[in-house]
Amino acid sequence: MRSAQLTIDPAFSIGPADRRLFGSFVEHMGRCVYGGIYEPGHPNADSRGLRRDVLELTRELGVSVVRYPGGNFVSGYRWEDGVGPVGDRPRRLDLAWKTIETNAFGLDEFMTWAAEAGVEPMMAVNLGTRGVQEALDLLEYANHPGGTALSDLRRKHGAEDPYGVRLWCLGNEMDGPWQVGHKTADEYGRLAAEAARAMKMIDPSISLVACGSSNRRMPTFAAWEATVLEHTYEHVDYISAHTYYDPSDGDQASILASAVDMDNFITEVVATADHVAARQRHKRKLKISFDEWNVWYESRLQADLDRRGWVEAPALIEDDFTAVDAVVVGDLLITLLRHADRVGVAAQAQLANVIAPIRTRNGGPAWRQSIFHPFALTARYARGTVLRTEPVSPRYETKKYGDVPVLDTVAVHDEETGELTVFAVNRDQTDLPLDIDLRGLPSMSGLSFQSIAAGSDPSATNTEAEPDRVTPREMPTPTPDGGRCTVRLPAVSWNVLRFGPTSA
Ligand code: AHR
């Protein structure tokens, strides 16, 4: 039987495990807002229409930051439509998703929801159909204390204190020809730079995200980043990256190696940003905001859009995620952590119903999809300093990514508690014995070992009728001796192994 080895040493540190890596995304798309986080009249909704069951699951998921209101939606959005008395708000055509937007939910409702959920808001401004002035207006409404037309309007609407939103996205996927108001890299770069400069005049404490490519397969990828950053580097704090992995073709070997692609994507964006920094003589290293990532059965989207005319909050891309998808999501989280020195923010897309860890039925229950579990466990245990692990692993061949290792790992060391957590994926179709050498941490005991294994039932999903088919299983706790132990990672599995200092 094949086996693998892993050496972990607290001296090999990458950087702090930033809480902002555990972000999510709420877009006005499908039933993410309407019927997801917000459903007035639902038996579980509060007096403001916020679904308490979804709020509870959001807290359990461990989400830190939530991007809003889009996504493609933001590129045609007028934020002013979503504030003030609900009865006065206009109904609009949303061109991104061919939907009627009622505007019953808007900025103030989102801020109330974010406070209840205990998450940091991350706002996006519309640089598709709008420009610098509208971005400034939104920032003044949200962050200026008072005494001006727009800050006083916010106070009149019931929010006396400014919202103090720290993270702002300068548009969304502006490289994509599907985007309303799509631009060339030079057009977008100029606009983003001017919006950024002016926004920081209103509030210098904000951090700004320039749009990178919509994915690594875009024909303009890397050239787009280079041009946009030539214009914006000195004004922004992050460049965005987005990626989705589509399992529709049934090529399990490749989908399990999706993290290899994400890893290369991050390395290439970092190299491009560093190239611009070198040309422009910047000392400050730019970070990535990986503000859309997930598994997505993307080939089904067109059917969803073709099926209907203009309607309110239709069910859109409500993918049922499998046990294999959970392993892939866990591996993507491993990759984000491994790049904690250069990825400062990340947001899984999306939070509720739309390719989401949380599913709901209108008027009915809410439940955890398979992908909920690796996210929740990683957000709970990845605390402290991310450590570089040194795996020695067997390899296998994939159609999409060539020869890849079967084992993928990262470790996080919490200096305060002394605890060490190892996240490990076995992409192999058979169990993988793994020898772990906790070098520099010789007196550790095993605390727990949890596993999501997809080997025996790869297509298992969690449904309303069977919400707990895919959940983490307890495995035999490892027992290190002199800092060494061997564990058995089940076939096709995502695993979390926890160790703590042995008490004297
Ligand atoms: O998350 C769904 C969509 O995917 C977003 O609106 C867009 O930014 C991306 O293409």
Q: What are phi and psi of 281, to 5 degrees?
A: 60, 40
State percent of the chain over pLDDT 70.
100
pLDDT band at 139 (very low <50, low <70, confident <90, very high): very high
Residue 72 CA: nearest ligand 1 atom is 6
pLDDT at 299: 85
* Cβ(408)–Cβ(259) below 8 Å: yes
Encode pLDDT of 187-197 as tens digits.
Answer: 999 999 999 99
Query: For ligand 1, is residue 172 a contact (CB within 6 Å)?
Result: yes
Taking the centre of ligand 1 as the mean of its atom positions, its distance from the CA of residue 72, in whole angstroms, is 6
In 10 A of CB 353, how many CB atoms?
29
Encode pLDDT of 354-367 as tens digits.
Answer: 999 999 999 999 99
Task: Take atom 2 of ligand 1 and give the residue whose Cα is closest.
Answer: 71
Helices (H), 157-251: 185-202, 223-232
pLDDT band at 221 (very low <50, low <70, confident <90, very high): very high
Strands 395-398 and 343-349: unpaired
pLDDT exceeds cutoff 90 at 101: yes
Question: What distance in Å separates the CA atoms of residue 266 and residue 224, rounded to the nearest whole number?
Answer: 15
With CA atoms as reference, report the closest residue to 258 among 370, 379, 400, 391: 400
State percent of the chain over pLDDT 90.
95
pLDDT band at 440 (very low <50, low <70, confident <90, very high): confident
Interacting residues of 147 by C-beta distance below 8 A, sequence separation 6+: none
Q: What is the average pLDDT value for the chain, to the nearest integer?
A: 97
Instruction: State the catalytic residue, choosing from 173, 225, 318, 419.
Output: 173
Taking the centre of ligand 1 as the mean of its atom positions, its distance from the CA of residue 208, in whole angstroms, is 19
Question: What distance in Å separates the CA atoms of residue 200 and residue 67, rounded to the nearest whole number?
Answer: 19
Q: What are phi and psi of 108, to 5 degrees?
A: -65, -40
pLDDT at 305: 84
Ligand 1 mutation pick, 27, 240, 351, 354, max ligand atoms within 8 A of CB: 27
Question: What distance in Å separates the CA atoms of residue 146 and residue 115, rounded to the nearest whole number?
Answer: 20
173 is catalytic: yes
Residues forming a β-bridge with 390? 7
Cis peptide upstream of residue 189 (ω within 30 degrees of 0)? no
Question: What distance in Å separates the CA atoms of residue 54 and residue 43, rounded to the nearest whole number?
Answer: 12
pLDDT at 309: 87
Ligand 1 mutation pick, 169, 173, 289, 290, max ligand atoms within 8 A of CB: 173
Residue 73 CA: nearest ligand 1 atom is 6
Q: Give the count of alpha carbons within 13 A of 164, CB side only.
A: 5
Strands 120-125 and 65-68: parallel
- The residue type of 263 is D
pLDDT exceeds cutoff 90 at 308: no
pLDDT at 504: 58
Taking the centre of ligand 1 as the mean of its atom positions, its distance from the CA of residue 243, in whole angstroms, is 9
- The residue type of 76 is G
Residue 27 CA: nearest ligand 1 atom is 6
Comparing 274-283, 292-301, 420-429, the range with the smallest average pLDDT is 292-301
In 10 A of CB 101, how many CB atoms?
27
292 is catalytic: yes
pLDDT exceeds cutoff 80 at 503: no
Helices (H), 65-184: 107-117, 132-143, 149-156
pLDDT exceeds cutoff 90 at 464: yes
Taking the centre of ligand 1 as the mean of its atom positions, its distance from the CA of residue 179, in whole angstroms, is 10
